[in-house]
Amino acid sequence: MLSSLGLALPPEKLAPALVHSSYANEIGGESNERLEFLGDAVLDLAVAEILFRECPDRDEGELSRIRSVAVSEPVLAQVAQDLGLERYIRVGAGAAEAKVQKRPSVLADALEAILGVVFLELGYPAARELTRRLLGEKLRQLAQEQPKDYKSLLQELGLRRYRELPQYRLLEAEGPEHEKVFTVEVSLGGKRTVGRGRNKKEAEQAAAKRLYLSLEEEFLED
């Protein structure tokens, strides 16, 4: 696994990224949680830069959608599984019996922790290139998908994250008939925002875009 990453790092440098909290609590020392925190931020930046440079035709909403899928737990866990990472993650005795090292969250966290180590030891360019090697194919697949409108994106996000659909409400339509401006409010997940447009459909799209981007940014910061 370590050799397949193609890194100019000895195994002992990557070892801290593979220490689960159960092992640290049982044996002593530090878990990989701090490295995972750092690696998570490095991963977000690396994916954002790759997408920015390689998808010049996509707006910020589409880029946010692609990034959120690419850095999601299921995708990272699958990459870690393909690398055979579970064989190298050190867990406590009880956790080993429960096969904690096979859990998607543990696999994803270990992968992010490895990126944290690479960033610290080799710098951001090396971390970005490792990200490209690990996620490049997935990013290309996602980038080739047809762009979706923001109402569709917000609807998918609502069903996936909140198990509910966005609710739209026309607040006002003002101005002379030939220059009317529509204001629409959209709410989802306890959040709401408004959008304006020359017709109701345009206003709904504007509102959906603002709320979608806001919720995606909030999710990535958690």
Residue 1 has pLDDT above 70, yes or no: no
Range list for CATH 3.30.160.20 in the chain? 150-221
What pLDDT is recorded for position 65?
81
> What is the C-alpha to C-alpha distance for residues 216 and 136, in angstroms, rounded to an integer?
21
Range list for CATH 1.10.1520.10 in the chain? 3-144
Residue 222 has pLDDT above 60, yes or no: no
Q: Which residues contact 105 (CB under 8 A, 6 or more apart)?
A: 73, 77
* Cα 134 to Cα 6, 65, 128, distances in angstroms: 11, 19, 10
pTM for the full predicted model: 0.71
Which architecture, in CATH terms, is 3-144?
Orthogonal Bundle (1.10)
Which of the following is catalytic: 36, 40, 109, 185? 40
The residue with greater pLDDT, 146 or 68, is: 68
Among the residue ranges 50-54, 55-59, 189-193, the one predicted with the least confidence is: 55-59
Structure tokens at 175: 């101005």
Classified by CATH at the fold level, domain 150-221 comes out as: Double Stranded RNA Binding Domain (3.30.160)
Catalytic residue status for 112? yes
Which of the following is catalytic: 86, 109, 112, 204? 112
Average pLDDT over residues 137-161: 86
> What is the C-alpha to C-alpha distance for residues 185 and 203, in angstroms, rounded to an integer?
9
What pLDDT is recorded for position 3?
58
